[in-house]
Copies of this chain bind each other. A is one copy, B any other.
Amino acid sequence: MISHSANLKTQLAFLAVAMVFCQAAVRAEAPDAPWKSQGIIHVSSSPYAKLHSVPVRAVKMGEGFWAARMRTNVEQSIPSMLQLLEEHGVLDNFRRLVGRKNVLRQGPVYTDSDIYKWMEAVAFVLQSGDEPKLRATMDSLIDEVLAAQEPSGYLNTFYVDEKKSKRFAEMQGSHELYCLGHMLQAGIAYYRATGNRKLLDGGIKYANYLAENFGPKKRPALTGHPELEMALVELYRTTGERRYLDFAGYLLSGVERERLKLTDDALKYMFSGKPFTSRTEFEGHAVRAMYASSGATDYYLETGDPAYRQTLETLWRDMANRKMYITGGVGSRSEGEAFGEAYELPNAQAYTESCAAIANLMWNWRMLAASGEARFTDVIERALYNSINSGMSLDGKLYCYRNPLESTGEKIRNPWYDTTCCPPNLERTFAALPGYLYSTSAEGVYLHLYHNSTLDWHLEDGTGLKLNQETDYPWGDTITVVVSPATLTEFTVFLRIPGWTTHASVTVNGDPVSGEPKPGEYFPIRRRWNAGDTIHLVLDMTPRLMVANSRVRENVGRVAVERGPLVYCLEQPDQSGVGSIFDVSLAVGREPGREFTAEFKPDLLGGIMTLRHKGIVTTKPLADEPLYQTFGRPLRRAGREVDLTFIPYYAWANREPTAMEVWVPLQAE
């Protein structure tokens, strides 16, 4: 544990730095409970953050799309996952070290991180409101985990017994630093939930051990799986201790290549071990690369190093313009769970690990904080509603590791994976959701995601602010926001106009607002706001046919269907009279997109908006056609009209495993 005086001293130093760099951040925290005001990332004092997170507890979710998911998460996913973690010995791995269990260690090298991620999920639940039973479970688990911590601070259940000599000697694959990162994130989240520092202090003890023994003139350190970088920056934000930020900088600096004899292949795979600022494109393991980028953005938010900003921008464009699935997923290759080449985005073979989509959200949340630019929020929303949301079954008990965009019907959802990184990662993400809806800036308040909710917080000048959001989003097209500052105040409400809409209209108290809302930007409404002022935002939710860049090899001649933030798909059970969805093409007439019939089906897959459209099914199944034949006219193959029904992609594979397709061949009139 760090001493109180050292802590206070650094907090003062930190405040001084913050005051120099950050003109806007006047803190309005209760000095006795700073943890209560800290958001998912605590960037209120980060000198290079334009936007500042609001605490999860400041946002109450109303009924709706995400509220249902969050309830399932708390009631089904989190308890069943703890049971599975117990059954697979993840906790016994700790207990055996203090003699409480006489068992062999179980599971792969990184199991500690799974329980930490689960703990972080619970911590986020508790940030939304107390759940005494969950809290008691947490306290007891924290005791069990920390009981295994060694006096030095070291804590890892794999590198014990005969493997003790290998500690920090196999950093490329050991996941020791990765596990520490998740321990810190869980400790910080629980501190922010309850003020209880116990787990946090345990993490700090381990982090101090690391900082004291590793570094340029000490032993070399490496994040074989990046993750610790962002945890250390968050620890710096939480404690004010600069050494953690510096150590994150050291890890990102990639100076240990020589000492650790890292090969080119390893540098590529790990997305670590060479200077982060020397990266020019995404490659290697997708989750590693996205966590590294998240940590680098955190580092930038504190340091403002322009080389980081430039690298992050280059990488972001590489991803958004060349390597991201339309679902917001990333990671094209199963081999190495890796990014592919530019435009290498196979659908059925897509790896698109749930963790990678989550990491994409986490990274873009940090990029948004740094810039206030809505292009990052567009990616957040795309990933969240599609590639992340698909990762958990509707009943909350099955998970996707991969989230492909096409399937011939393999079993994709399972309750447990030997590498069970995704399930608790999904749980912590859904539990944290309220914290992603709003931000503040010096100018006012940002609305990022639309959902029934109330924000009870304050402007950055300290003026109390309540926002009440009512909407049926993502099914409905209208969002009503009642703005209630504590006193009549001039500030800006930044409404996100999603990049996917073609048109948006905005009124305040029924009157038009000057300026044109532009898709893909925040629409600023600056005025003196009175309590009860009401914004109406209407988005064009006409279904859209999307085409991919022709360089995306599998999507030539195909379209994807979107409505609002949701990507749609064809799943076999919904297509009556169609033997195989792979024999189907979409028959598009003169008004692409407007030829859909939208119908909300409350009893289907938890309640979804279905989209019907005319299609053509081949007379002869394609499976009976030769593999190759001479091209001839007519181009169009014989077929008959059918009525196709699309469902939101996230809802696929919640019935029997069957065929599914996002990118559907197009047959234009």
Contacts and interface: CB of A to CB of B under 8 A. Distances in A.
A373 interface: no
Contacts of A623: 322, 342, 551
Given A349-B344, A558-B556, A549 B626 contact: yes
Contacts of A333: 335
A320 B348 CA distance: 21
Contact of A582 (B334, B347, B551, B632): B551
Which of A340, A546, A556, A588 has the most C-beta atoms of chain B within 10 angstroms of its own C-beta? A556
A82 interface: no
B549 A321 contact: no
Query: Could you say which of A549, A560, A666 has the most chain B C-beta atoms within 10 Å of its C-beta?
Result: A549
A628 B548 CA distance: 4
Interface of A: 320-322, 324, 326, 333-335, 340-342, 344, 346-349, 406, 408, 502, 544-554, 556-560, 582, 588, 592-593, 622-623, 625-633, 635, 637, 665-666, 668
A324 B627 contact: yes
A631 B549 CA distance: 11
B545 A622 contact: no
Nearest to A347: B553
B631 A593 contact: yes
Nearest to A668: B635
Nearest to A561: B631
A502 B326 CA distance: 42
A583 B547 CA distance: 16
B629 A547 contact: yes
A625 B627 CA distance: 32
A552 B592 CA distance: 25
B547 A627 contact: no
Among A335, A546, A551, A633, chain B packs the most CB atoms within 10 A around the CB of A551
Nearest to A323: B627
A666 B342 CA distance: 21
Contact of A632 (B554, B592, B629): B592
* A349, A545, A622, most chain B CB atoms within 10 A: A349
A546 B346 contact: no
A652 to B, nearest CB: 18
A333 B548 CA distance: 24
23 contacts: A321-B627, A333-B335, A335-B335, A346-B553, A347-B553, A406-B553, A544-B630, A545-B631, A546-B631, A548-B628, A549-B628, A550-B622, A550-B637, A550-B665, A551-B582, A552-B627, A556-B557, A559-B631, A560-B628, A592-B632, A593-B630, A631-B666, A635-B668
A620 to B, nearest CB: 11
Oligomeric state, in copies: 2
Contact of A630 (B335, B546, B588): B546
A551 B622 contact: yes
Contacts of A592: 631-633
Contacts of A637: 550
Given A549-B622, A557-B557, A631-B666, 8 more contacts: A322-B623, A333-B335, A341-B408, A342-B623, A346-B346, A556-B556, A559-B631, A560-B628
A630 B553 CA distance: 18
A556 B665 contact: yes
Contacts of A334: 335
9 closest A-B pairs (Cβ-Cβ)? Answer: A557-B557, A545-B631, A335-B335, A556-B557, A553-B554, A547-B631, A551-B622, A592-B631, A549-B627
Centre residue among A335, A347, A550, A626 by max chain B CB count within 10 A: A550
Contacts of A546: 628-631
Nearest to A406: B553
Contacts of A502: 630
A646 to B, nearest CB: 15
B348 A630 contact: no
Contacts of A408: 341-342
A627 B334 CA distance: 22
Nearest to A624: B321
Contacts of A326: 628
A291 to B, nearest CB: 22
A554 to B, nearest CB: 5
A360 to B, nearest CB: 14
A543 to B, nearest CB: 11
A582 B633 CA distance: 25
Contacts of A545: 630-631
Contacts of A632: 592
A592 B398 CA distance: 51
B348 A349 contact: no
A544 B629 CA distance: 9
A557 B592 CA distance: 19
A553 B556 CA distance: 9
A349 B340 CA distance: 9
A140 B666 CA distance: 64
Contacts of A554: 346, 553-554, 556
A341 B348 contact: yes
A588 B626 CA distance: 22
A406 B552 CA distance: 13
Contacts of A550: 622, 625, 637, 665
Nearest to A545: B631
Contacts of A322: 623, 627
Nearest to A544: B630
A625 to B, nearest CB: 5
A149 B342 CA distance: 51
A623 B346 CA distance: 18
Contact of A626 (B321, B406, B626, B668): B321
Contacts of A622: 549-551
Contacts of A665: 550, 556
Contacts of A551: 582, 622-623
A629 to B, nearest CB: 6
A549 B625 contact: yes
Nearest to A621: B551
A627 B343 CA distance: 8
A665 to B, nearest CB: 6
Contacts of A582: 551
